[in-house]
Structure 1
């Protein structure tokens, strides 16, 4: 895109904005703030289990979901299955998680279609007998593009996908130049410049993700997301009423001094972002910080040493962190001479240095774990924590947090929109999680066995649903839903397409709906029943019941039974 009318006045406007004083209203709304917090406990060790507020939320949510389970199972009308008895002992009701993969807009919209299929607010979803799964699920995790969906949904008070597409996403608008005129786009960048510069003035590190997160906020959050924090999701009515699954976004840590030209470590630290906390279960960190007070300095016991920081958990910054690599690649492709104010903006904030090999920072957080848990914490002496896209090491499905033994999730519905071959998945994300589980048995011991990618391709496991973990009592059951062209060629490349027409957006969402429903049960008229069989599987085990004949038939069709098929695959190009 070229802007021949760009003038010196535009650049002057940007430059002047960089000098906006701290008191400017918009600047203050993005800039983290400090306030009294009376020696508040901010950081804890992971060995204490899941956060107390998370545990309370899940307990209250499970009280809410019993009726949803009843309605869902009665719609399924399983043969020889007593719904009332199944739900009688609420402690035996299965815990369900939904995971939406990375993959930019492709993942967001495909995942959005699956979200619609599982949402009982749509008659067509109830007619497909898949509606209600979102309402009964305990957890909803997203990484990279998947986190765009989960964060937007949660921040907008559990908005359904049609509301998000109509009122929030702004898919036809460019991420980089959302306005029609050069002047309006220049003002847009100038506002961001002031917001981010104020964060630096306040003493906090800035990084490429401040830029990227602010831009994505315009497409994901209400009022451009300036005042929306991740912890403020707890203030929505849906959260207060426990009507929404517990939301988790994922990022990955990189060592200070890491160079992007190096091979990214497959054992990188996995960080979680929830409404309540940010931190990692991994042994090299083993700590969590309050999300609301993220950035607060603590003593060796985890108590605030002075004033508490608030506002650092800006929702755009958090979801931008989860998708930081997408931002870096797209920025790298920009022709700055065609969008001159982008180059000027980066220059004024000294952003180019943060993309330099010797000072590479995609997403920088003040180290909330500095000085804490020194015997275990590998970043205890570092000033900042540097993070990247949560899918960078290959973990493009955010199933790892849901498999954590502390959460006791029984079944995970994993929607995979990875771009492995021709921008469709080939199972790489599942293989990456399995390989990690063999090394990290403490956190990954509930990962079921999966085949290699050659078997995925040879056996057609990338074009239909697959159940992993059947007959593995200690493992979570994973319902794998790979993106495939049911009704639309949904393999749109993330890096080359940053705008979607309304027609393409609708087609992507519809295809995602078909991925989750197998073409509205047209490919397999019993698919919705089979999906239900997967959801109740662990509950039936706990009750000591035998599977119904219908469910046995379903598992015979959809379970991967452990056989490999490693002949040379006919790989599409």
Structure 2
């Protein structure tokens, strides 16, 4: 046993050394002489300012090529000159919605690239499924043609979890239909239980990883009935009492079918377990350095496994951007990953990760830390231990798209269709996930609260804003930040970071793949964002909220006549050429489905390759510059476009 412990210790040290060598986890570095915390007041950070300035200088020929390619729009030469000298600042916001969003938005981006518009973007923001597109772009050095080439879409993101559907509720983007205060309170009550669950989860994987390293030890322990496979199997699916001799044959078959739907065949169970053990081994070095880990760390490593281009490379977000050829040449948009903060009772408090900084523009914080030093121990703005590599891009992406709670909802749906014995087993699973003390609604087969676990929180500890002077609230009083899926508060579109006056955008494209009705958007999440902007203390960037009854297949433009605001060109996901209303929780797609979703995303942007619509896009892009010139005349086609699209 001592020998095995030494082997385990040595293997742990080897993992640690290898992780250090490839930049796979946080490491201690010397602290810089410059300040790590910036107070966000009237402008973005100097690095972002410089990047946008340099990018706009290089955009003149691209905008010139786009506007001269338009079929029916003949702009005055003076307007073209202004567009060349002062190109519009444009952004793209990609909503959440799982693979539905990722595939639709990927097609949308590919079509933007076809018309030369993607290269003209200065910013691109994403949350939840939209953040997966950002991660893919970063890993592909922003080569749009390479999007999705490394995703094995016929193989699920998480082993052992099949496709499933939530027929009436999208848990990620539909939280507003529930009493959110009640959800948060329940979550706090069960906090201790969920922490205990995660400890059990981690210990089970650690034991399995240890025992599988030694054949003799595995055999010896297996004989005693606690072999690694048995332990993990018990963890994921508690043993079912099969001694009911009176059980009907049909009920037995239903039980077997449900077990197969959860893990596939018994033969594949070991592969499922090995998958999670591998994730554990990837996460372990971070914990060995003293950092708190959560389910989000495991999900982040699953994302990294999906993108083979990241294997063997640094996974640090800031380092990847430094290594990006296009980003260093100012040819890529600045990516913004969006997440929500769940410290105490906070709602609609959003944080952003960009290549330069992490922090929030919210009025109750207004602070940013330099991205490479995320994870450093900083108190009152003064660092005492500096870290590089905490900004793992998989971890950041997983933070913006925490989906382990969705797995629980799947299990609950399975319960509704199960025999009594299967229900007993599923109840045991829910108990493990911290739901053991909650009441089971036998009629509807759903937990009393849909989101009462803290195991899906991403834990950012140390909190870089801890005890910051003159900022005393939930965001600075604790040495940790709890961050969750960017769409949990009903803001399933990452618009707000693009509308801040400091970024001075002229137009924002939106591709919305939210699930409002039959897995299609009906403007509900856009309305939520607009209401949030109106609730902001600074109402200088509040939009008039139109009626959304007519939202179906056609894009609409908001803020057209509010010249101090960026125009929002909103594109809802709709079935132009393919039924793209797949479930948020569908996690496998065959080649035909992928091609259909991508083409439909293309058609959403181009309105089924309508040349006149692209002309209208050009008019909307140029609108703010035309207004600034007080141009005496506007092309007639542009006037008609504004009448057709502006609401």
TM-score normalised by length of structure 2:
0.73
Question: In structure 2, what is the equivalent of residue 240 of structure 1?
Answer: 328
- 8 Å Cα contact 1:299-1:371 kept in structure 2: yes
Measured at CA, do residues 87 and 99 of structure 1 come closer, stay the same or move farther in structure 2, by a change above 3 Å?
farther
Note if 1:274 corresponds to 2:354: yes
Note if 1:390 corresponds to 2:502: no
Question: In structure 1, what is the equivalent of residue 626 of structure 2?
Answer: 540
Note if 1:416 corresponds to 2:502: no
- 8 Å Cα contact 2:73-2:615 kept in structure 1: no
Q: How does 1:525-564 map to 2 (within 5 A)?
A: 525-545=611-631, 546-560=633-647
Question: In structure 2, what is the equivalent of residue 570 of structure 1?
Answer: none
Within 1, Cα distance between the matches of 2:526 and 2:464?
31
Find 2:285's aligned residue among 184, 198, 201: 198
Within 1, Cα distance between the matches of 2:535 and 2:146?
42
- 8 Å Cα contact 1:101-1:146 kept in structure 2: yes
Q: Residue deviations 1:357-409, cap 9 Å, x none?
A: 57555111011111223435542220210011111111111111110000000
Note if 1:283 corresponds to 2:363: yes
Q: Return the offset for 1:105.
A: 0.6
Note if 1:445 corresponds to 2:533: no
Measured at CA, do residues 80 and 487 of structure 1 come closer, stay the same or move farther in structure 2, by a change above 3 Å?
closer
Secondary structure class of the residue paired with 2:494 = coil
Q: Return the offset for 1:31.
A: 2.7
Question: In structure 1, what is the equivalent of residue 199 of structure 2?
Answer: none
Within 2, Cα distance between the matches of 1:164 and 1:398?
21
Question: In structure 2, what is the equivalent of residue 93 of structure 1?
Answer: 87
- 8 Å Cα contact 2:404-2:456 kept in structure 1: no
Measured at CA, do residues 358 and 173 of structure 1 come closer, stay the same or move farther in structure 2, by a change above 3 Å?
closer
Secondary structure class of the residue paired with 1:99 = strand
Aligned length: 504
Note if 1:484 corresponds to 2:571: no
Question: In structure 2, what is the equivalent of residue 304 of structure 1?
Answer: 383
- 8 Å Cα contact 1:255-1:386 kept in structure 2: yes
Secondary structure class of the residue paired with 1:275 = coil
Q: Which moved more, 1:63-72 or 1:175-184?
A: 175-184
Within 2, Cα distance between the matches of 1:192 and 1:255?
27
Find 1:216's aligned residue among 289, 303, 311: 303
Note if 1:510 corresponds to 2:569: no
Question: In structure 2, what is the equivalent of residue 363 of structure 1?
Answer: 458
Find 1:172's aligned residue among 139, 151, 154: 154
Q: Residue deviations 1:277-321, cap 9 Å, x none?
A: 110011111100111110112242x3422x311111100100111
Question: In structure 1, what is the equivalent of residue 392 of structure 2?
Answer: 314
Secondary structure class of the residue paired with 2:501 = coil
Q: Return the offset for 1:181.
A: 4.9
Q: Return the offset for 1:211.
A: 1.4
Q: Return the offset for 1:445.
A: 3.1
Q: Which runs of 4+ in 1 moved over 6 A?
A: 16-19, 350-353
- 8 Å Cα contact 2:379-2:464 kept in structure 1: no
Secondary structure class of the residue paired with 1:519 = coil
Note if 1:67 corresponds to 2:61: yes
Within 2, Cα distance between the matches of 1:76 and 1:17?
65
- 8 Å Cα contact 1:27-1:198 kept in structure 2: yes
Within 2, Cα distance between the matches of 1:268 and 1:79?
41
Find 1:494's aligned residue among 571, 580, 584: 584
Within 2, Cα distance between the matches of 1:78 and 1:359?
55
Q: Residue deviations 1:77-132, cap 9 Å, x none?
A: 4444135652347564321111111111111111111101110xxxxx3xxxxx11
- 8 Å Cα contact 1:17-1:190 kept in structure 2: no
Find 2:530's aligned residue among 412, 430, 434: 434
Bigger Rg over Cα: 2
Q: Between the two structures, name the one with larger relative contact order (CA 8 Å, sep ≥ 6).
A: 2
Greater helix proportion: 2
Measured at CA, do residues 358 and 134 of structure 1 come closer, stay the same or move farther in structure 2, by a change above 3 Å?
closer
Within 2, Cα distance between the matches of 1:286 and 1:184?
46
Within 1, Cα distance between the matches of 2:503 and 2:343?
28
- 8 Å Cα contact 1:102-1:145 kept in structure 2: yes
Measured at CA, do residues 244 and 19 of structure 1 come closer, stay the same or move farther in structure 2, by a change above 3 Å?
same
Note if 1:292 corresponds to 2:362: no
- 8 Å Cα contact 1:69-1:136 kept in structure 2: yes
Unaligned runs of 5+ residues in structure 1 are 1-12, 120-124, 126-130, 259-264, 338-342, 561-573
- RMSD in angstroms over aligned alpha carbons? 3.0
Find 2:14's aligned residue among 23, 42, 55: 23
Q: Return the offset for 1:276.
A: 0.6
Measured at CA, do residues 544 and 48 of structure 1 come closer, stay the same or move farther in structure 2, by a change above 3 Å?
closer
Unaligned runs of 5+ residues in structure 2 are 161-263, 416-424, 436-449
TM-score normalised by length of structure 1:
0.82
Q: Return the offset for 1:238.
A: 0.6
Measured at CA, do residues 237 and 334 of structure 1 come closer, stay the same or move farther in structure 2, by a change above 3 Å?
farther
Q: Return the offset for 1:468.
A: 0.8
- 8 Å Cα contact 1:430-1:450 kept in structure 2: no
Question: In structure 1, what is the equivalent of residue 208 of structure 2?
Answer: none
Q: Return the offset for 1:541.
A: 0.8
Measured at CA, do residues 506 and 283 of structure 1 come closer, stay the same or move farther in structure 2, by a change above 3 Å?
same
Question: In structure 2, what is the equivalent of residue 135 of structure 1?
Answer: 119
Measured at CA, do residues 352 and 221 of structure 1 come closer, stay the same or move farther in structure 2, by a change above 3 Å?
farther
- 8 Å Cα contact 1:285-1:378 kept in structure 2: no
Within 2, Cα distance between the matches of 1:356 and 1:419?
18
Secondary structure class of the residue paired with 2:517 = coil
Secondary structure class of the residue paired with 2:615 = helix
Within 2, Cα distance between the matches of 1:448 and 1:216?
36
